[in-house]
Chain A
Amino acid sequence: MLKRFLGGIHPKDSKEYSSDKAIEMPPLPNNVVIPVSQHIGAHCTPIVKVGDKVKKGQVIAKSDAFMHSPVHASISGEVTSIAEMPHTSLVKCLSIVIKNDGLDEWIEGIPVNRDWDKLEMDEIRNIIKESGIVGLGGATFPTHIKLSPSKDKNIDVFIVNAAECEPFLTADYRMMLEYAERMVTGVKIVMKLLGVSKCYVGIEDNKPKAVKAMEEAFKGTSVEVVSLPTKYPQGAEKMLIKVLTDREVPSGGLPMDVGVVVQNVGTTIAICDAVVRGIPLIERVTTVSGDAIKEPKNLLLRIGTSFKEAIDYCGGFSKTPEKVIMGGPMMGFALFTLDVPVIKGVSGILALSSDVVNSGEESPCIRCGRCVEACPMGLVPSMLSILGERHKFKEAKEEYDLFNCIECGSCVYTCPAKRNIVQYIKYSKAQNLAQASKK
């Protein structure tokens, strides 16, 4: 019954480093650095100033723009600085530094205990918005916008993305085992919001324990837990929708165009916390792993904790890391410093030695076609890389569907000529966008 998506690859999942490690909460950091932009959309503006005393859960930055998500203090203490600081994906970003007062006090009114079933829909949406919830899989799209599709989209399916197809990452996996109850509530809330009766939880079959745990947790509900064949990028939204519903998101379209909304495991749990207990998004589960980490772990980290502290808590490095990555090894960002804060989209902190990231020297394309076979989007990645190399950006866009690329990296993974195809594609996209904005 399950459909397959074309293409894809089978990298070693490397989840054994951290899959059996229960989620731990390290001691609170002395300082947290909270960037005003941790989501897709408008940057927020700080509404506190240096010297202010803030409490856990207090809004410290917000925006009037439609596409935004507010930012909250993740510890109680004093604002010591507001300045440009290193950021995981933006390189630099205005950030608010809070010095821990050791009290870990909630701001007044939190936590609460609500009967969510009695809340109005708009009330729930507003709670989700005010709680600063964004897609925690890594894309950080503001969740309240995703949960407010226009009426004409006829949403009839909700999908929980529990594929966790990136190697090394086990945060979603641990959450499914340990936070199943909250996840069930979160899923129910979203289903009610969207007015759908059909919901799938898609889990790759390399996580049989999670499949079992979810089947038990969702027993007696209309939610269907589906074990999916392990194949990267199974967790890419469009692939997941194709496999579970046999609907194909049109090129350039969104899941809602085919009546589907997708949320990640962590996001559903954050929704439960926000709606039921009034707790905004101030912490997240992050996998700290990789062959260069001494004791890989799954950590519950306050937003703003530095990568350095998280890695220190895991015993530091066991060998010299060649790369430190935010996110997974297929789509994550390589960092130049450990002095960056954990933000809402950080699903993993990986330290990989040269044994794992040895990329080899790039050669010209030998046209082997492995990338064409691996591309889940039906593109010719080899041509896109060649056109990017030769600065033929327009041709890449018009004749080779440049913008259909989801940058999953399957082509690069499989390329025997070690070509940096995704790099050429990102470059070509940027050049095309620059060209378009000039006009």
Chain B
Amino acid sequence: MSSVTKVDENKIQDIKAKGIEGQEIKFTVSTSPHIRCDESISKIMWNVNLALAPAAIFAVFYFGIPALINIIVGGVSAVAFEYLVQKYRKKRITAFDGSAFLTGLLLAMSVSPSLPPYMMVIGSFIAIVIAKHSMGGLGFNIFNPAHIGRAALMVSWPVAMTTWTSFKTSVDVVSSATPLNILKQQGYGKLIETFGSNTEMYKAMFLGTRSGSAGETSTILLLIGGAYLLYKGYIKWHVPVLMIGTVGILTWIFGPAGLFTGDPIFHMMAGGLILGAFFMATDMVTIPITVKGQVIFAVGAGAITALIRLLGGYPEGVCYSILLMNAVVPLIDRLVKPKKFGARG
């Protein structure tokens, strides 16, 4: 460092001796502006990874080693696939900018912790190579890569994808259905019975002591991560609030025993909704670019989620709802533009 400074000083003295000849220093010439903020893609992406860390760490403690292995395999394989694709396509290597790692991490967090690691590798191949790089790489993919990976695994290995484990005590690993599964197959009464009481159920859902995908269970830790992203300005509140709110309102209205008998609190914390709403429906690449467009996106995704949960064959619909809304983003962006200055009256 000091040697660098010294060289510069010599250069400056040289210039001064010659009376600052313009030709002595080569100035960079470029269009304005000449200053920029210190945000960068990798800073944003690694911050999102950081925001996911509390829930990911909880998953490791709660679900044990298999969850840890899946998270590592997911993150590392995603980065490796991105590196290889970029190497093969002779593109600038951006595999370490945090976005590939984020895709792998999100995939690992949105599948069952007991999923065999080789399936994780295949899922992250589909996410990175097919969903992201066949579209042109970061910024060009239409669909959320992690969700494409998850959907592909879902149709390929439906059994492995819906085999859930949970810790009952610190040593016993028991296979158990997710709360949404119980609701779908056995009804709301059975669901409450499983947990003991409403309060117990809400407590388990809030803290994360329930079965489900590795990273989706702890509402509180996901909310902490989401709050961090909101504070940093990397996401806007509209998307998660409207998506979760829409699910809450629709599931409350269309309850199991007639209108306004649903349990919105349960539905808002159940499944992958919190994870999806804060971390997938806010993926800047695959959602509309204007706030107005994002509002449409969020409400649409929430409505489709509720539709699948209430009427569909699957117990959960967050992944498909976001993918379906991803598909209409180009249309939304064409139709919804900000009002330009001079036309606002």
Binding site for B on A (CB under 8 A): 5-6, 9, 11, 167, 238, 242, 248-253, 308, 311-312, 316-325, 329-339, 352, 356-361, 363-370, 372-373, 375-380, 382-383, 400-401, 404, 407, 409, 412-418, 420, 422-423, 426
Contacts and interface: CB of A to CB of B under 8 A. Distances in A.
B290 A372 contact: yes
Nearest to B12: A317
Interface of A is mostly: loop
27 contacts: A248-B342, A248-B344, A250-B342, A251-B340, A251-B342, A308-B20, A312-B19, A316-B12, A320-B8, A337-B22, A337-B23, A337-B27, A339-B22, A352-B34, A359-B30, A359-B36, A364-B138, A364-B140, A366-B285, A368-B284, A375-B338, A378-B344, A380-B338, A416-B40, A416-B44, A418-B36, A426-B31
A378 B341 contact: yes
A356 B342 CA distance: 34
Contacts of A167: 35
Contacts of B287: 367
Interface in B31-72: 31-37, 39-41, 43-44
A412 B33 contact: yes
A339 B23 CA distance: 9
A331 B23 CA distance: 24
Contacts of B342: 238, 248-253, 377, 404
Interface string B8-20: 1001100110011
A407 to B, nearest CB: 7
A319 B284 CA distance: 39
What 4 A-B pairs are tightest by C-beta distance, nearest first? Answer: A409-B33, A251-B342, A337-B22, A378-B340
B139 interface: yes
Contacts of A6: 341
Contacts of A329: 32-35
Contact of A248 (B20, B41, B139, B341): B341
B341 A331 contact: no
B345 interface: yes
B29 interface: yes
B310 to A, nearest CB: 32
A335 B32 contact: no
Given A317-B15, A378-B344, A422 B31 contact: yes
B1 interface: no
A331 B32 contact: yes
Interface of B: 8, 11-12, 15-16, 19-20, 22-23, 25, 27-37, 39-41, 43-44, 92, 94, 136-140, 284-285, 287, 289-291, 294, 337-345
Contact of A380 (B44, B285, B337, B345): B337
Contacts of B40: 360, 416, 418
B85 to A, nearest CB: 15
A72 B332 CA distance: 56
Given A308-B22, A357-B34, A422-B33, A366 B41 contact: yes
A398 to B, nearest CB: 13
Contact of A416 (B23, B31, B39): B39
Contact of A338 (B20, B32, B138, B340): B20
Contacts of A324: 27
Contacts of B15: 316-317
Contacts of A359: 30, 34, 36
Nearest to A359: B36
| Residue picked from A311, A330, A367, A379, most chain B C-beta under 10 Å | A367
Contact of B340 (A11, A330, A379, A415): A379
A238 B35 CA distance: 23
Contact of B25 (A9, A321, A360): A321
Nearest to B136: A364
A372 B137 contact: no
B341 A423 contact: no
Contacts of B23: 337
Contacts of A415: 36
Nearest to B5: A319
Given A379-B340, A414-B39, A334 B11 contact: no
Contact of A364 (B12, B43, B137): B137
| Residue picked from B11, B32, B340, B344, most chain A C-beta under 10 Å | B32
Contacts of B31: 334, 420, 422-423, 426
B334 to A, nearest CB: 9
A370 B136 CA distance: 22
A334 B290 CA distance: 32
Contacts of B294: 369
Given A312-B20, A352-B35, A376-B341, 13 more contacts: A167-B35, A248-B345, A323-B28, A330-B34, A336-B29, A337-B22, A357-B35, A363-B94, A364-B138, A369-B291, A377-B342, A404-B342, A420-B31
Nearest to A401: B340
B138 A366 contact: yes
Contacts of B291: 369, 373
A361 B92 CA distance: 11
B14 to A, nearest CB: 11
A323 B16 contact: no
A364 B139 contact: yes
A319 B12 contact: yes
Contacts of B345: 248
Contact of A356 (B12, B35, B139): B35
A249 B23 CA distance: 44
A383 B293 CA distance: 15
A354 B207 CA distance: 48
Contacts of B341: 5-6, 238, 242, 248, 251, 376-378, 404
A367 B30 contact: no
Given A311-B20, A332-B32, A368-B44, A323 B37 contact: no
A321 to B, nearest CB: 7
A334 B34 CA distance: 8
A128 to B, nearest CB: 29
A380 B289 contact: yes
A415 to B, nearest CB: 7
A253 B341 CA distance: 11
Nearest to B286: A367
Contacts of B289: 367, 369, 372, 380, 382-383
A323 B94 contact: no
A379 B343 CA distance: 12
B340 A367 contact: no
Contact of A320 (B11, B33, B139): B11
Nearest to A371: B289
Contacts of A325: 34
A407 B344 CA distance: 20
